[in-house]
Structure formats: C-alpha cells, structure tokens
Structure 1
Amino acid sequence: MRPLAFALLLGLLALAQGLTFPRSTLQVVQGEKRYPLRVEVADTPERQAQGLMFRKALGEEEGMVFLFSSPTAGGFWMKNTLIPLSIAFFDRQGTILRILDMEPCRADPCPVYYPGVVYQGALEVNRGWFQRRGLTPGAKVEGEALKLWPR
C-alpha cells in the first residue's frame, strides 16, 4: 500500500469512529402489522456520506434512516460497507416507493443502487428484513425518528 493511500485509509477510519448519529425509533406498518425498529438517524450530509460504513453487524431490529431536506432521485452505494443490506426508499409522507437489496463492496468500482423513484427518506436494514415480514411498496414508515427530518 502506498503511504498516501494508507494515510487516507487512516483518515476514513478516524472519521468512522468519531461521527455520531442521533438514535430514535420508528415502525414500518402494512395493514394491521407494525414492525418496530431502533434506528440511527443520518440527517446531515456528513452522516449520510458515512452511513453504515465499516460496521461489522446490525441487529435484527436495528437500522439506519436517511432523511433528506428535499426530494432526490440519487443512488446509494456500498463502498466500505461490510454487511448486506436492504433499503426502502420513501416519500415525505412515509410511503415506501421501492425496496432494493444491496451487496457489500470493499473495492472500486462499487455499483450504485438507483431506486428509479423520487424519494425523501431511505431506511437501511439487514438484507431480507422487508421480505421476511412480507413488506412491499405501499407500506408506511412512521415514528419518532421522522421528527428529526431536516427543514
């Protein structure tokens, strides 16, 4: 490894350890069923860029919610993400528009996962979490975490 690349890697690791996320709760609701989650909230560009990078595990009832100040159609990538994830893209009302599965990526080029919809929030959980619960587009994301939406 070249010295510059090693220094950049150390800088990324320091960033990953020093960045903190607000913690909250939310539920995914479809029909009469409610599925609670403890979530970390990525509500700033810095937190959104970091996401779940370098995490070795995610509990079954845990996730990360990304809250954007305005609608977007941007994609997500899994650079330096060590665990497989599912992601639900939802609108400002909390309605899930699309669910995708994503693979870990440790080396460039990493694929970008575009949802093909305009969304304002995204929920990452362990891969298969939505499928195991029978959750599909049209389900709702609700709860305390959504009160942290940036204005």
Structure 2
Amino acid sequence: MRKCIKGIFIFSLTTGMLFSCANEPKESSIETEEILFTKEGELSFLKGGEVERTIDIEIADTPYERETGLMYRKSLGENQGMLFIYSNEASRSFYMKNTYIPLDLIFYNKDSIVVSFHENAVPLTETSIPSNFPAQFILELNAGKVEEWNIETGDKIRFTRD
C-alpha cells in the first residue's frame, strides 16, 4: 500500500511539473508604443532681430521631462525640436543615453542668446556634452541643423507656448 501511495505521489508530482512547464509563457519581447512628438509651442530663430525660421517645439520643463528628453524616440520631424527650460542660468551637461536620434544641441543663456552648441551628438553614448557657458535653455534638433540653418553664437531665439 505504501508503495502504491508513493508511486501515485511521484506520478502526480511529475505530471504536475510537466504540465506546469508546458503552460509557461514563452519568452517574447515587450511591445511598447512609439513616443510621438507633441507640439507645445513654437520657436523662432532670430538673426539681427529678424526671424529666420520658425519650428514646432516640445517643451521639457519638469525634472522628469528634462531627465528623459528625447530618449526612446525613433524620429524627430524636419522642423521640430525639444526645448529644455530651466528656472535659472547654470552650467549644463547632457548625454545621449537611450537616445536613438543623432542630435545638435544648442545652449542659450538667460537672454535667449546662443552661448555654445554641440553638433552631431552620437546616439546611445554617455559622453558628457557640456555647455561652454552658463545656459538656461537648451534646444535639441536633428543632427546637421546647426550647419544647415547657419546657427551661430550670438544668435537669439524667441518662443511661445501653445
């Protein structure tokens, strides 16, 4: 009788393990929704007080938005950018961790004047990209825009929120 109970127990245990393994989900990648651009304002580039061009901007003005920026984005439109807004002018430094898009970064002081820029930041790197001077606003654009749009130190921006 003991042998029979022991055999039933082992059979039940083995069968249970087989069926529980068979029902485990197979490994799969998690599908995530693409993060899309949300227009929150417009930004104009000025030279000599004249508007050269205007683009749509998404604004990063909370700690979480500034920390995340354009991370995990797969694209940025031709005439779009992300403007980081801080409450004060200070030395700023960015990196490209989890950022898939090559970018140009433009640093502006409290008067919205270009104090420095970094062209063609390499995606997915943690190399520090510092401003050369204290900055209050930082604009991220697709790589190549600084050269294409002839953005120079001393140029100015003006922006509005929607």
3-state SS in 2 of match to 1:135: coil
Alignment gaps of 5+ in structure 1 = 1-9
Over the residues paired in the alignment, what is the CA RMSD in angstroms?
Answer: 2.3
8 Å contact from structure 2 (residues 41, 59) kept in 1 = yes
Letter in 2 for 1:78: M
* Equivalent residues, number: 130
Alignment CA distance shift 1:29-1:59 (3 Å):
same
Q: Is the 8 A contact 1:77 1:113 kept in 2?
A: yes
Deviations 1:71-99 (A, max 9, x none): 12121000000010001100111101101
Following TM superposition, where does structure 1 have runs of at least 4 consecutive aligned residues deviating by more than 6 angstroms? none
RCO greater where, 1 or 2, for CA within 8 Å and sep 6 or more?
1
Is contact 2:105–2:138 with CA below 8 Å preserved after alignment?
Answer: yes
Unaligned runs of 5+ in 2: 1-29
Measure the CA separation in 2 of the matches of 1:49 and 1:126.
Answer: 19
Per-residue deviation, residues 4-43 of structure 1 (Å, max 9, x unmatched)? xxxxxx8xx79x95xx967110111113452111000001
Alignment-derived partner of residue 144 in structure 1: 160
Aligned-partner residue type, residue 139 of structure 2: L
47 and 22 in structure 1: CA distance in 2 versus 1, 3 angstrom threshold: farther
Identity rate, percent: 29
TM-score normalized by structure 2? 0.72
Matches within 5 A, 1:13-28: 23-28=40-45
Given the two structures, how large is their TM-score scaled by the length of structure 1? 0.77
